[in-house]
């Protein structure tokens, strides 16, 4: 294993920019925010008044016995102020709770919606585990940031200011000098050391996200790990990230201990100096015993919030670091966007036209070259070709997962870049080559094609996909949970669910992207009739590998290296004796060989 070292941390996002991002969510409940701020001020005023009343009580009792009178009103005022300082604080938290939780909810849904709005290019490159951890830490950081910045930093600064004003106005200037010096030293140490420590926090976050990414990826591919016996290999890869996290975490904790020690030393020196000055004042007769208690009470009252202020500042910086990656997700550009005022697609009978389409995933890697073809309304066009010839790219472009580099794609005469993505995709149904299902029930996965469909419509779609009888044979029937990515179902069963889902959507345009690739020959033949039935009177694009599945198509396009090299019906293409003929003959030979093996009994013996 290579030596472990701390990786260079990511560049931090501007903290004030992060805070400004949250302000609109606070302004949504500006009445509650203002009420919470008022309650906060009232709580602090009550807190600062407590030592003043306590001073009067001590001075009232510090008299000759003959003059002693129980200061009932002062005692009642003391108790009332203590109660109010707590009451106003609790009311503040109760009033502000809805603001905090709503902000978390709004940001979370914004991030979630934004991720769905990002292009397929982004999602093909994403690391799901790390991204989910970034969002989790970010939303948790929002709660801490809002509560502690508004209700700890501001009240603490207010309390320090009020105490300083009281001491300045009633006592020696040296009290103010000592308090000011203590504050400056404390804040300077906190700022300098906390900024230095942030490198460890960011490294911890980075390693945590990477470890989570690797863990999720490994668990999702559990069977592959088992097939190759690589459990130890996966554990070592995971531990590489955790080892770097551990180093950063240890340095983070030891530097925190250093910071806390320094802060405590500054506070101790300041408190000792103030007590020395107050005690000397009492001895000299310039201060009463009540004044000594007042100064001591204020010192204790300042010590806790000041010490807590350092903690809060550190945690706010940590929260901002936690929120960085989540807000960076919001900064990701939406590559595919609706034009302002984009029209709704009027699909009609949904003819499709590709006009001189060129497309590149990367600038130096062109995929499609001058592709032009028509799919008349209600007709079927099949696309065949070797792997990597650009067949599936046609479906992605029609769905507008990417925009064409040049040329255009028309649906019912409308450029798909001029209509809303939602209306375009509502008109298209697809049965993809790899049907990944949600970790939910079979019923949910079928009804996903039309969440408003009735149970009977869902059952009918299952029947059309030759799936209903299989589902009814299961113990939980339609409530059977299919597992992560549908792994509890066979490839053919998953494909049937996908077909049923497309049937339920009832679109004007159908795309079959290697739709029967996961089915055996018997299942494929049994379902082809249903596929032809649901494709009747619909504009259909079939991307196929097995040529036997598309012989009845109205037109077949043969693609090679991103270009259409042949087009025509099945018979016309065979007559050309070109690329299609070669592919057809090769697959026919493979089928004959398979049949000979079966008829000879070899397949049975195997």
Over the chain (606 residues), what is each successive 10-residue block's mean pLDDT?
A: 40 61 74 86 86 82 60 86 88 84 81 77 66 74 73 74 78 80 84 80 80 79 72 84 86 84 85 83 81 77 69 74 74 80 86 92 87 92 87 89 91 92 89 81 89 90 86 90 78 83 88 72 68 81 85 91 91 91 87 69 47
Confidence (pLDDT) at 347: 82
Residues 6+ away with beta carbon under 8 Å from 425: 399, 400
The pTM is what?
0.64
Alpha helices in 149-230 (DSSP H): 154-170, 173-220, 222-227
Confidence (pLDDT) at 519: 62
Tokens coding 56: 């009067």
Residue-range domain boundaries for the chain:
15-330, 428-506
Calpha distance 228→209 (Å, rounded)? 26
Calpha distance 199→252 (Å, rounded)? 9
DSSP string, 542-591: EE-S-GGGSTT-SEEEEEETTEEEEEE-HHHHHHHTSHHHHHHHHHHHHH
Q: Do domains 15-330 and 428-506 have the same CATH topology?
A: no
User: DSSP character for 441?
Assistant: B
- In CATH, 428-506 is 3.10.580.10: no
Tokens coding 188: 């300077």
Tokens coding 227: 């097939």
Calpha distance 481→485 (Å, rounded)? 11
DSSP string, 311-377: HHHHHHHHHHHHHHHHHHHHTS--SS-PPTTPBPP--TT--EEEEEEEEEEETTEEEEEEEEEEE-T
CA angle 231, 211, 130 (to 5 degrees): 125
Calpha distance 142→318 (Å, rounded)? 11
Burial of 248 (C-beta count, 10 Å sphere; 0-12/13-18/19+): buried
Angle between helices 289-330 and 15-27 (to 10 degrees): 90
Confidence (pLDDT) at 443: 92
Calpha distance 258→314 (Å, rounded)? 13
Report in angstroms the alpha-carbon separations of 21 from 146, 449, 495: 12, 36, 44
How many helices (H) and strands (E) are present in the chain, helices listed first?
20, 10
Length of the chain, in residues: 606
Sheet order of strands, 414-415 included: 365-375, 352-362, 406-411, 414-415
Residue 365 β-bridge partners:
362
Calpha distance 76→68 (Å, rounded)? 17
CATH T-level assignment (fold) for domain 15-330: ABC transporter transmembrane region fold (1.20.1560)
Confidence (pLDDT) at 397: 92
Residue 540 β-bridge partners:
380, 510
Contact 565, 579 (CB under 8 A): yes
User: DSSP character for 386?
Assistant: S
Place of tokens 């960076």: 328
Residues 6+ away with beta carbon under 8 Å from 473: none
């Amino acid at each position: 294993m290579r030596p472990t070292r701390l990786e260079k941390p990511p560049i931090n996002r501007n903290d004030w920019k992060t805070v400004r991002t949250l302000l609109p969510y606070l302004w949504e409940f500006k009445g509650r925010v203002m009420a919470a701020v008022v309650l906060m001020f009232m709580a602090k005023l009550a807190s600062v008044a407590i030592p003043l009343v306590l001073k009067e009580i001590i001075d009232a009792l510090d008299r000759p016995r003959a003059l002693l009178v129980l200061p009932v009103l002062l005692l009642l005022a003391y108790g009332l102020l203590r109660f109010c300082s707590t009451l106003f604080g609790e009311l503040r938290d109760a009033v502000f709770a809805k603001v905090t939780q709503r902000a978390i909810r709004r940001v979370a849904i914004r991030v979630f919606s934004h991720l769905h709005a990002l292009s397929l290019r982004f999602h093909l490159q994403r690391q799901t585990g790390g991204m989910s951890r970034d969002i989790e830490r970010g939303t948790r950081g929002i709660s801490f940031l809002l509560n502690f910045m508004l209700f700890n930093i501001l009240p603490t600064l207010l309390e320090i200011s009020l105490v300083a004003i009281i001491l300045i106005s009633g006592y020696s200037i040296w009290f103010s000098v000592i308090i000011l010096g203590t504050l400056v030293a404390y804040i300077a140490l906190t700022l300098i050391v906390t900024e230095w420590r942030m490198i460890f926090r960011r490294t911890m976050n980075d390693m945590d996200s990477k470890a989570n990414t690797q863990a999720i990826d490994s668990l999702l591919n559990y069977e592959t790990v088992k097939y190759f016996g690589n459990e130890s290999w996966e554990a070592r890869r995971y531990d590489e990230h955790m080892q770097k996290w551990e180093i950063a975490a240890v340095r983070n904790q030891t530097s925190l201990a250093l910071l806390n020690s320094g802060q405590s030393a500054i506070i101790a020196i300041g408190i000792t100096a103030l007590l020395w000055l107050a005690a000397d004042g009492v001895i000299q007769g310039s201060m009463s015993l009540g004044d000594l208690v007042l100064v001591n009470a204020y010192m204790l009252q300042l010590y806790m919030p000041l010490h807590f202020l350092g903690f809060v500042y550190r945690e706010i910086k940590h929260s901002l670091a936690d929120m960085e990656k989540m807000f960076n997700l919001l900064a990701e550009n939406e590559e595919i966007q609706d034009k302002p005022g984009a029209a709704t697609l009027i699909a009609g009978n949904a003819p499709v036209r590709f006009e001189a389409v060129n497309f590149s995933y990367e600038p130096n890697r062109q995929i499609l070259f001058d592709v032009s073809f028509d799919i008349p309304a209600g007709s079927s066009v099949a696309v065949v070709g070797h792997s990597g010839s650009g067949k599936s790219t046609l479906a992605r472009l029609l769905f507008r997962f990417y925009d064409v580099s040049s040329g255009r794609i028309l649906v019912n005469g409308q450029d798909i870049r001029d209509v809303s993505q939602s209306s375009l995709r509502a008109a298209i149904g697809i049965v993809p080559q790899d049907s990944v299902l949600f970790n939910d029930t079979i019923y949910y996965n079928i009804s996903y094609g039309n969440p408003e469909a009735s149970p009977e419509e869902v059952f009918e779609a299952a029947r059309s996909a030759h799936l209903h009888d299989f589902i009814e044979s299961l113990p939980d029937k339609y409530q059977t949970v299919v597992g992560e990515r549908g792994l509890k179902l066979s490839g053919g069963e998953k494909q049937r669910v996908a077909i049923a889902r497309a049937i339920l959507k009832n679109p004007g345009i159908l795309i079959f992207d290697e739709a029967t690739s996961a089915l055996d020959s018997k299942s494929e033949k049994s379902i082809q009739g249903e596929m032809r039935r649901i494709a009747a009177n619909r504009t259909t694009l079939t991307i196929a590998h097995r040529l036997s599945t598309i012989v009845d198509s109205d037109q077949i396009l043969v693609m090679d290296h991103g270009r259409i090299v042949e087009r025509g019906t099945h018979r016309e293409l065979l007559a050309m004796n070109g690329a299609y003929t070669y592919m057809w003959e090769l697959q026919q030979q493979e089928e004959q060989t398979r049949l000979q093996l079966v008829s000879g009994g070899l397949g049975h013996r195997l």
